[in-house]
């Protein structure tokens, strides 16, 4: 079965780890950065590690904004759970009940612990859900 994904090229403004979520930069020069905290409106998931030296050199990274992506979990996540940006370096976490949140996607596989890699179907940037 064919799977559709969409990646866009963005320049990280700080070092980022592979499979972590990023937010769109404020400059008009196609930049991205790690989220500043939990429940940020993340644009997508970086598909490669970008070091501080890479940032200085102006390296462009592929950021998956739609379709299936591997992500790094910030704790346990159930299969089928909505996932949001966590507070820990762009890792994702399960959406909390009774809260308005920016959803990144749906977990296709489960995570048992912090740092696990899981598959997520990204729903596209700016999907806000009110679980209250």
* pTM of model > 0.85: yes
30-54 tens-digit pLDDT: 888 888 887 888 899 999 999 999 9
Cα distance between residue 110 and residue 88, in whole Å = 18
Give the C-alpha separation, 21 to 18, whole Å. 9
Contact 6, 66 (CB under 8 A): yes
| Domains of the chain: residue spans and CATH | 6-123 (2.40.300)
Q: What is the largest CA-CA distance in the chain?
A: 45
Band (97; pLDDT cuts 50, 70, 90): confident
Average pLDDT over residues 57-63: 95
d(CA 84, CA 82): 7
Query: In terms of DSSP H, where are the helices of the chain?
Result: 52-56
């Amino acid at each position: 079965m064919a799977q559709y994904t969409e990646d866009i090229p963005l320049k990280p403004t700080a070092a980022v780890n592979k499979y972590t979520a990023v937010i769109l930069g404020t400059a008009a020069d196609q930049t991205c950065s790690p989220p500043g905290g939990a429940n940020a409106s993340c644009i997508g998931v970086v598909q490669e590690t970008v070091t501080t030296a890479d940032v200085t050199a102006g390296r462009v990274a592929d950021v998956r904004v739609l379709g299936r992506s591997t992500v790094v979990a910030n704790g346990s996540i159930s299969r089928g759970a909505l996932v949001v940006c966590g507070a820990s370096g762009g890792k994702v976490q399960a959406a909390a009940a009774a809260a308005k949140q920016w959803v990144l996607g749906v977990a296709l596989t489960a995570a048992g612990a912090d740092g696990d890699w899981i598959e997520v179907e990204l729903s596209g940037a700016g999907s806000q859900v009110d679980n209250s």
